[in-house]
Amino acid sequence: MASIRSSTRLPVTTASALQGGQLALHGVERTVSTASRELVDGAVEKASSTTNGSYEVVLTPAGGQATPVTGTLTIEVKSTTKRLR
């Protein structure tokens, strides 16, 4: 059995036009992944990944006459894969 572990950090900055305004996100995603492979055939026996993200959110109404709405968004996404036999 061979095992690997990796971690990544991805800065996120994006803006999207909405009907009646604009949405902006600014933050960071961090992902940790592990996998175990069978040495005989190279197949993945099991793998898992967890991504955590934390973002500042700004919703700006169109026209600039109203105060932008601010907040935070926190996410966690987990996945697990296992080989079927």
The per-residue pLDDT for 22 is 94
The per-residue pLDDT for 34 is 96
| Averages of pLDDT over each 10 residues, the chain, 85 residues | 95 94 96 92 92 96 88 98 89
The per-residue pLDDT for 66 is 87
Domain ranges across the chain: 2-80
The per-residue pLDDT for 65 is 79
Contact between 45 and 36 (Cβ < 8 Å): yes
The per-residue pLDDT for 63 is 82
- Say how far apart CA 48 and CA 58 lie, in whole Å: 32
